[in-house]
Every structure is written in C-alpha cells, then in structure tokens.
Amino acid sequence: MTYLFAVLAACANAMSSVLQRKADRQVPTAENLSLQLIASLVHEPVWFGGVLAVIVGFLFQAAALGHGELAVVEPILVIELPITLLIATRAFHAQLCAREWCAAAAMAAGLAGLLYGLSPTGGGAQGVRWYSWVIGITVNLAAMAALVAWGRHGPAGRGPHSRQSSDLQAAVLSVATGAGFGLTAALIKAVTDAFSHGFVALVSSWELYAMIVVGIGSMFILQSALNAGPLVAAQPGLTLTDPIVSILWGALVFHERVRSGWFLILTVAGGLLMIGAVLVLARSPLLGKASEQATAP
C-alpha cells in the first residue's frame, strides 16, 4: 500500500503542477513573493483545481507515510515529472518522443536501484529527541530563508508593471519549495505516528500545527517559483530537493537504518541516474510548450 499511495500522490502532484503553472502565468511577475500574488490567483478558477490536486496529493502522501518510511515514500514522488509530461501530451495534443521515454525508463531504473540500495527499516518520530527537532527544523528553515533571499534578486517582483520572468529565480525558489516540502513530509510522518495513538494525541501534538504552517509557507513559495519563470526551470529543483531533504530527515533524525557497504554504490548510482533523467525530462519541449500555451491569450 505504501507504493500505491506514493504513486497516487505523485499523480496528484503532477496535475497540480500543470494547473498551478497555468494560473500563475496569468499574474504579473511584479507580484512575486507577495501576498498580492495569492490575492490575484484566487480570481483564476484553474488555480483552485491545482490547490485541490495538492490537497489530494497531501492525503495520499500522508497515507503512504503512515505505512512506510520517509526514505521509501519521498523518492517515489520523483515520478511526478514523467507523469507531468504525460498530462502535457493530453493537454497540449503532443506526443512523447524517444528521448522522453528513454529518460522515464532510466528514472524508473534509477529509482529501483536507489530504493533497493537504501532498503530503509525501523526508525520513526516517536523516539526523536526535542533537540534533534530543533536543530533539524532550524537548519531546514535557514536553508529555505537563504534560498528565498537569493530568489528575490531578479526581474520577477521588480516594478509595478513587470512581467519579466527569470529561469534562475524559478529554479532557486523551486529548490526552496522542495526543501519546505521535505520538512513538511517529516512533520507528516510525525503526525501519522501521533494519530496512531488517537485523535486527542493528534490535536495535542505540536507537529500538526507546525506541519500546517510549513505546508502553507511552502505552497506560497511554490506559487512564486511558478510565477517567476517557466515550468522547465522550476520543475527539476522541486522534483529533486524534496526526496533528498526527506532522506536526510529519515536517516539523520528519524534514525531509519539504511544499507551500507557495496549497497552504497548501488544507491549512489541509482541516485545519479535519477538526477540525469530528471534533467533530461525537465528540458523536454513539452514543458516549454506547456508554459507557452499557459501564457497565450
């Protein structure tokens, strides 16, 4: 069930990426990283479809994390990218070429190698010390803050009538979003552990409210990433950073035990193959076409 729920979450996230990108490109980039951006997006009906898809993906992700480890669930979510391309073929009447199919196959092979090499077991949020939470959250939020500060330097968000976009801004803000989603996943894992002890334990856990705050903040940064530049620039950072941060949380904070020895070679090889496949898929003309048609009148 862990794998099924994770795949369904990836499908929902892929639909959300396409819908939210379409909505964000209708809003001037002058509103980037401001509350006015959200105020403008609420007037775009397609944006609500993207938000609904995010909520569905969140529920499937929570169900997956309730059954499995962070280091298993989050890497599976990288298949969001090829699914996004499949949705683009339907939405924009295009076809996947050999390049996309080969990259998708390479991603599947890399993911299989990564999961087999890691094979995480044990761990959980219940045994985590309070200082581990403090250190982990502080480092995670500091990295996000530094990336957002970097992402503010560019044409997007400058000037009252600016419609200029920036690939670099989109990429940097998407990495910050991925780091936020990785932290959110760690908090979701803690919330599912609390829920196993009953409803009272759930509503009285600080992790629930921290998850809501971090999740909303990450969604806000995501809107700015999609508004700042094309999907082809934003998608790689978002796709890769989330599982990397989640694996670090699982191994360093939740003490999920992973394989060592020669399995590390397989893990690294699988990870590098996945990264290469993501970079190839992210440069697919389909994503560029999606961005162009999203901005067309």
Please give the pLDDT value at position 165: 54
Number of H helices, E strands in the chain: 13, 0
**In whole angstroms, what is the distance from residue 94 CA to residue 103 CA?**
17
The pLDDT of residue 295 is 47
What pLDDT, on a 0 to 100 scale, did the predictor assign at position 280? 80
Per DSSP (E only), the strands in the chain are: none
CA atoms of 285 and 72, how far apart (whole Å):
30
Phi, psi of 123 (to 5 degrees): 75, 180
pLDDT tens-digit series, residues 153-171: 765 555 444 445 567 888 8
Token representation of residue 264: 């590390």
Taking alpha carbons only, the member of 247, 255, 258 closest to residue 75 is: 247
In this structure, what are the phi and psi dihedrals at residue 43, rounded to the nearest 5 degrees? -90, 0
Phi-psi region at 72: left, alpha or beta (left = phi > 0; alpha = psi -120 to 50): alpha
Calculate the alpha carbon distances from 75 to 32, 41, 173 in Å.
29, 30, 20
pLDDT of residue 294: 47
Domain range annotation of the chain: 2-295
Q: What is the Cα–Cα distance from 238 to 244, expressed in whole angstroms?
A: 10
- Which pLDDT score, from 0 to 100, does residue 286 have? 62
> Which residue type occupies 243?
P
- Residue 287's pLDDT is 62
Which pLDDT score is estimated for 271? 86
What integer pLDDT is reported at residue 160 of this predicted model?
46
* C-alpha torsion sign, points 174, 229, 283, 23: positive
Residues of the chain falling short of pLDDT 50: 159-163, 292, 294-297
Model confidence, pTM = 0.81
Name the residue with tokens 């939210």: 20
